[in-house]
Structure 1
Amino acid sequence: MVRLLLLVILFLLSLLSIFPAPTYHLWLTAILVTEYPLLFIFPCLVLLLSGRWSAKYQISGTIVGVLALLLLASPLLKAYITAKTLVSELHNNQPPEISPFNLSTLIRRSNTKEVSYKEFTYSKTDDKTLSLKFFSSLEKGIRPCVVVIHGGSWKSGDNNQLPELNSYLASEGYHVAAINYHLAPKYKSPIPVNDVKEALKFLKEHSTGLAIDTSRFVLLGRSAGAQIALLAAYTIKDPGIKAVVDFYGPADMVWGYSLPANPLVLNSRKVMEDYLGGTFQQVPALYQKSSPILFVNERSVPTLIIHGKNDVLVAYEHSQRLYKKLQENNIQTYFLSLPWATHGFDFNINGPGGQLSTYAVTSFLEKVCR
């Protein structure tokens, strides 16, 4: 009976690999199930093998266990399929030096070493001091710089968020500047975009000492930070901004407000109202001015979009709509779609989504900063 009960629990958890999470805590669980799959696959295998010593509910337990195992392993299979597409579209089917997805990395982890950083104050006003963490490229010489903008629903988070990618990019020859910015509800849009301008200004002024190539900046944002990164990339008239990387960001604030997230996961309308200063009916112009998709034109910078189809915080359709608009304007763009992934899948840089997105980012940077 215990075996059957445990396998039923694993089966219910495995459903998070194919269906969107219905509540906030199940969303967090979905990240574990899909990006740390071996933590669930191994216990499932052990329980299945133990069936030979189980007299009661042996067959029913085995059936449930096999179904759970197949679903738990599905992100791995889908990751292999996605990896082939990734190589085909980014490298014209040329065999890459590093595979986009490697099962062994899930077990032994990547060899990326943590890169130390220096912290600088890039903006100081009467009521707020903003800082950035600068990860110097491990390759010598004048190097491109990636400006990283954290997520957190515009009201939380900081530049300590997900530092593994910062170290990885530094090891690949890029400077990384992870910035803090003014947070809602005290500060409203477009203040964070102005913060990006200030950060770029600071980096340019100190480019000699930091060995930054000021003609090759790339903005990279996650979630709310992706909205800021996209809006900054499409509206700041700076020839030094060469591209933007969008991790599951809300690209259309007007459309997003009309179709809110599941309130059991996130009160997305309240989040947007805090950031934009009111409902869409109260401040429609600000929703429009804060929608990156409305600023896409034939002069927009190359864009990498990364989004999971099971995202329950920021609808996958945001990225679909942005990708279509970029294609209509003949902008160099690539859309990495992850069928199993949810919001924040890159929490584990060594998971299926983490490996593929890291590969996509480095391949994209190589193209736009070449």
Structure 2
Amino acid sequence: MKKIAILLFFLSKFVFAQVHYPIDTTYTIKSVYKKLKKEYPNVSVAQPKKYENVKEQKEIVYLKINNRKLHLDAYFNKTKKQNPALVILHGGGWKSGNKSQMETFAIEMASKGYSCFNIEFRLSPEAIYPAAIFDVKKAIIYIKKNARKFNADTTKIAILGCSSGGQMASLIGTTNGNRNFEDNNKSSINSSNVQAIINIDGILAFKHPESIEGKVAGLWLGGNYEEKATVWQQASPLNHTDKKTPPTLFINSSIPRFHAGRDDMILILDKYGIYNEVQTIQNSPHSFWFLNPWFDETINYTAQFLEKVFK
């Protein structure tokens, strides 16, 4: 018993040394399925397929912050030398979720000729805004530096996000070249610019007539709107949309709160002649991208859009 106690003691020390930051596990594919199954009894979780033309490399360290390592998973097509790249951000209210939740999505897109990257970034229990934005921009730079390893075309990079990840993807895309959104304003041979945005049910404005963001957003933004009004405005992609914003695809459920600010953003994109699409998946819940019968439709909209902008 004494030996077992000693072993458990050292094991706990090891685990603590490896995971020294808070982890919120409230948002999972399993929890989404369990919740939605009650209202949509015929849904099923989309399962990853095996494709001979897809190569996987997981847990690649793209950034070290003191003792903290941030990872990405790469899924890329082996049959093409230079694939357009797709950087993928998971949802979870900026506080939960993880990169592996988007594995099925990444594999499916890789099979269609894309180099896909699921990104780990710091969530609000560990670090508040803008840490996650800095992380993802560093990941994009890492991908560009190592493009040959992943058969990636650095001139054709799209960023895609779901829910809170959609908000992040849109903010990253609308701040191309904005040094205020680069960590410490450090220069790099490679930029973090992207050439397309895909927003899947993510808000475009935190404070908006359609938005009902509250406590969860406040946890990420460092306080509620009354306390951090400037930050709430700064973190809203709508406020950075201009003539330099890349082509954008919005894939939405029919729930208005999850596309707050979208129509206003489209007006700006149209003003500057920037290509954009809206695809609404009718009668779908939030987090539809995990589940059949909506998964394939989401993939098809994504692939069709990328074919148009990267052809």
Please indicate, yes or no, whether the TM-score normalized by the shorter chain is above 0.5: yes
**C-alpha distance in structure 2 between counterparts of 1:180 and 1:239, whole Å:** 16
Check the 8 A contact 2:76/2:116 in 1, yes or no: yes
Equivalent of 1:159 in 99, 108, 130: 99
Per the TM alignment, residue 193 of structure 1 is displaced from its structure 2 partner at its CA by 1.3
Cα shift readout 1:229-288 (whole Å, capped 9, x = no counterpart): 1000110225851101000001101227x842xxxxxxx411011000011111111111
1:355-370 matches, cutoff 5 A: 355-370=296-311
Per the TM alignment, residue 139 of structure 1 is displaced from its structure 2 partner at its CA by 2.6
Matched, 1:354 2:295: yes
Look up the match of 2:63.
123
* Pair member with larger Rg: 1
Check the 8 A contact 2:225/2:232 in 1, yes or no: yes
Structure 1 consecutive aligned stretches of length 4 or more whose deviation exceeds 6 Å: none
Check the 8 A contact 1:230/1:292 in 2, yes or no: yes
Q: Name the CA shift for 1:38/1:246 in 2 (closer, same or farther; >3 Å).
A: closer
Check the 8 A contact 1:251/1:291 in 2, yes or no: yes
Q: Name the CA shift for 1:38/1:272 in 2 (closer, same or farther; >3 Å).
A: closer
Q: Name the CA shift for 1:167/1:294 in 2 (closer, same or farther; >3 Å).
A: same
In structure 2, what residue type is equivalent to 1:291?
A: S
Equivalent of 2:138 in 198, 204, 209: 198
Q: Name the CA shift for 1:122/1:110 in 2 (closer, same or farther; >3 Å).
A: closer
Equivalent of 2:150 in 210, 216, 238: 210
1:66-85 matches, cutoff 5 A: none
Look up the match of 1:6.
none
Per the TM alignment, residue 369 of structure 1 is displaced from its structure 2 partner at its CA by 1.4
Equivalent of 2:270 in 301, 307, 327: 327
Q: Name the SS of the counterpart of 1:209 in structure 2.
A: helix
**C-alpha distance in structure 2 between counterparts of 1:368 and 1:112, whole Å:** 26
Report how many aligned residue pairs link the two structures.
Answer: 265
Equivalent of 1:282 in 210, 222, 227: 227
Check the 8 A contact 1:216/1:240 in 2, yes or no: no
Matched, 1:243 2:196: yes
Equivalent of 1:233 in 157, 167, 173: 173
Cα shift readout 1:30-56 (whole Å, capped 9, x = no counterpart): 46644x6378xxxxxxxxxxxxxxxxx
Equivalent of 1:338 in 281, 294, 306: 281
Look up the match of 1:224.
164
Q: Name the CA shift for 1:200/1:133 in 2 (closer, same or farther; >3 Å).
A: same
1:34-183 matches, cutoff 5 A: 34=40, 37=42, 112-113=49-50, 115-119=54-58, 120-183=60-123
Q: Name the CA shift for 1:230/1:32 in 2 (closer, same or farther; >3 Å).
A: farther
In structure 2, what residue type is equivalent to 1:37?
A: N
TM-score, structure 2 normalization: 0.77
Matched, 1:303 2:248: yes
Q: Which runs of 5+ in 1 are unaligned?
A: 1-24, 40-105, 261-267
Check the 8 A contact 2:77/2:151 in 1, yes or no: no
Check the 8 A contact 1:138/1:172 in 2, yes or no: no
Q: More strand by proportion, 1 or 2? A: 2
Look up the match of 1:16.
none
Per the TM alignment, residue 325 of structure 1 is displaced from its structure 2 partner at its CA by 3.5
Check the 8 A contact 1:219/1:229 in 2, yes or no: yes
RMSD (Å) for aligned C-alpha atoms? 2.7
Q: Which runs of 5+ in 2 are unaligned?
A: 1-30, 178-190
TM-score, structure 1 normalization: 0.66
Per the TM alignment, residue 319 of structure 1 is displaced from its structure 2 partner at its CA by 3.1
Q: More helix by proportion, 1 or 2? A: 1
Per the TM alignment, residue 183 of structure 1 is displaced from its structure 2 partner at its CA by 0.7
Look up the match of 1:73.
none
Check the 8 A contact 1:31/1:342 in 2, yes or no: no
Matched, 1:253 2:206: yes
Q: Name the SS of the counterpart of 1:136 in structure 2.
A: strand
Check the 8 A contact 2:74/2:116 in 1, yes or no: yes
Look up the match of 1:75.
none
In structure 2, what residue type is equivalent to 1:117?
A: E
Per the TM alignment, residue 327 of structure 1 is displaced from its structure 2 partner at its CA by 2.5
In structure 1, what residue type is equivalent to 2:288?
A: F
1:260-279 matches, cutoff 5 A: 260=212, 268-279=213-224
Question: Identity percentage over the alignment?
Answer: 25
